[in-house]
C-alpha cells in the first residue's frame, strides 16, 4: 500500500518548486546570468526528481512492474491507468532532461531550459494533481 504521507510530501515539493520557478525565475536571463541559469536548472532538476521519487514509490508499492529506466516509471503508471499516455510521454521527456542536468551527458541547451520553464511546468503540476487524486481514490476504496 502506498504511504500517502510520503507521496504527499513529494507532490507538495513538486508544487513548491514550480511555484518558486514561477515567482523567481527570469527566463530571459538564463543565457546571461549564471546564477539565474543554475537556479532554474537546479530547481527543475529537484522538481523532476521529486516526480520520479513519487512515481517510484507508487510503482513499487502497487507492484506495477520493474522499471529499468526512470522513463519507464511513467510508462508503468500509464499502463496501470494512473496517468494519461500524453502526460506520461511528457514526463518521460522531463526525466530525460533531468538526466542531462544531473549527468552532464551533453551541455544543456539554454533554449531547452527556457522552453521547459515557459511551457512545461504545468505538466509537473498535472502529475501532482493526478497522483494525489489517484491515491485518494485508492485510500477511500479500502
Q: Read off the pLDDT band of 41 (50, 70, 90).
A: very high
Output the pTM of the full model: 0.93
Q: In the predicted model, is pLDDT for residue 89 greater than 90?
A: yes
Q: Are 100 and 61 in contact (CB under 8 A)?
A: no
Say if CB 54 and CB 9 are below 8 A apart: no
Summarised one tens digit per residue, pLDDT across range 122-140 is 999 999 999 999 887 776 6
C-alpha span between 15 and 89 (Å, rounded)? 20
64 exposed, middle or buried (CB, 10 Å; 0-12, 13-18, 19+)? middle
Instruction: Map out the domains of the chain with their CATH numbers.
Output: 4-141 (1.20.120.580)
Pick the closest to residue 91 from 68, 75, 107 (CA basis).
Answer: 75
For residues 49 and 68, give the distance between their C-alpha atoms in angstroms, rounded to a whole number. Answer: 16
Amino acid at each position: 500500500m502506498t504511504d500517502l504521507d510520503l507521496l504527499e510530501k513529494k507532490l507538495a515539493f513538486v508544487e513548491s518548486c514550480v511555484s518558486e520557478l514561477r515567482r523567481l525565475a527570469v527566463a530571459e536571463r538564463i543565457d546571461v546570468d549564471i546564477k539565474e541559469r543554475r537556479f532554474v536548472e537546479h530547481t527543475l532538476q529537484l522538481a523532476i526528481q521529486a516526480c520520479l521519487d513519487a512515481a517510484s514509490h507508487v510503482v513499487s508499492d502497487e507492484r506495477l512492474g520493474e522499471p529499468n529506466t526512470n522513463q519507464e516509471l511513467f510508462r508503468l503508471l500509464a499502463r496501470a491507468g494512473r496517468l494519461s499516455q500524453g502526460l506520461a510521454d511528457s514526463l518521460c521527456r522531463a526525466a530525460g532532461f533531468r538526466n542531462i542536468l544531473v549527468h552532464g551527458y551533453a551541455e544543456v541547451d539554454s533554449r531547452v531550459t527556457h522552453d521547459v520553464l515557459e511551457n512545461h511546468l504545468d505538466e509537473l503540476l498535472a502529475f501532482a494533481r493526478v497522483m494525489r487524486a489517484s491515491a485518494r481514490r485508492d485510500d477511500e476504496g479500502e
